[in-house]
Amino acid sequence: MSQPRTSTPTRRGVLAAGGAVGLGALLAACGDGGTSGKSGDSGGNGGGSWSFTDDREKKVTLDAVPDRIVAFTGTAAALHDFGIDEQVVGVFGPTKLPNGKADPQAGDLDVDRLEIIGNAYGEFSIEKYAKTRPQVLITNMYEPGALWFVPEESKDKIVKLAPTVAITASRTSLKNVIGRYADLAESLGADLKAQQVTSAKARFEKAAERLRRAAKASGGLKVLACSGSKDLFYASNPGMSADLMFFQELGVQLVTPDNLDEGGYFESLSWENADKYDADLLFLDDRTATLQPEQLKAKPSWRDLPAVKAGQVTPWSSEPRFSYAGSAPLVERLAKAVEDAAKVG
């Protein structure tokens, strides 16, 4: 990732003034949300009960397959791609854009059907969450034990409402993360042999092979995964992000920064030093919270980068949807960019 996982857009309070009225009663009504055990099989829906061991080695066990799931938006979108849809009743994270349309991270979700618990980092309405009567909360985990987009300051209250499931989304290859989401979806009742799943997997594998061939034929093309903010240019570490690790496995020569910030995800550079690393192709973070090419044109140091001058900038969805359907287009997009790019140094 190109921006700090713990300091992306400024956190806001979870509850508006007076919003805590009646919250104690809601918490009490929903139980303690505890988990049982720390290991075991990933479970399934056999016999009516359900269990799943997440990537914290915590085993969640319920009397039945959950049909009231609340999830991080990207997580819900990935589950949707595997065939789990109606069971998801609420989401938190980037879900709707200011114009009311679905955020890219929402994928093919029907966002108007869902209860939006929070639409940005730091937003998580405990009251709305409690009213969904959640049976389980599912999200990504970028740091050990940390629930992505669950605010730390209200985490203790949130986890009392329902068991939580966390899937590791960093420091491991994209293939592995997608595999874990497939396991989770299957445990929830998804048919991994359904045509929509097998067709998406075939497309993903075809895209991966195309990228492998493009990287091999590129003559050592250097790619820098990066992100722009008002004051800083971030050079991302390919050893942390699941997608970048996968692209490296396919032979893409991604630049590795040599002076990483705390956490290890990136090196933050002043715009005057944005040219520290030679790159033939820039893989630019396309999240709504980051600066995009049109905005970056105002920065002379951006305009002067050789890859920018050559028109060799391609979007990077730095928080991919961890499904075959969600990831295949991203692999295809990078493959085309590598095929079309030339060395500029």
| 196 has a pLDDT exceeding 50 | yes
pLDDT digits (tens, 9 = 90+) for 220-254: 999 999 999 999 999 999 999 999 999 999 999 99
| 136 has a pLDDT exceeding 50 | yes
The predicted model scores a pTM of 0.85
For residues 177-214, b (16+ Cβ closer than 10 Å) or e, as one string?
bbebbbbbbbbbbbeeeeeebeebbebbeebbebbbeb
Instruction: Identify the three-state secondary structure at position 22.
Output: coil
Cβ–Cβ < 8 Å for 109, 91: yes
| 4 has a pLDDT exceeding 50 | no
**Mean pLDDT on 311-320:** 95
pLDDT computed for residue 288 by the predictor: 79
| 11 has a pLDDT exceeding 50 | no
| 42 has a pLDDT exceeding 70 | no
pLDDT digits (tens, 9 = 90+) for 255-303: 999 999 999 999 999 999 999 999 999 999 998 789 999 999 999 999 9
Measuring CA to CA, which residue among 259, 225, 229, 258 is closest to residue 242?
Answer: 225
Residues forming beta bridges with residue 222, ordered by sequence position:
253
Does 23-192 match 197-340 in CATH topology?
Answer: yes
Return the CATH fold of 23-192. Answer: Rossmann fold (3.40.50)
Instruction: Identify the three-state secondary structure at position 215.
Output: helix
Measuring CA to CA, which residue among 4, 238, 268, 265 is closest to residue 121?
Answer: 4
Distance CA 58, CA 136 (A): 13
Percent of the chain with pLDDT over 70: 86
Cβ–Cβ < 8 Å for 124, 158: yes
Domain locations in the chain?
23-192, 197-340
Q: What length does the chain have? A: 345
Return the CATH fold of 197-340. Answer: Rossmann fold (3.40.50)
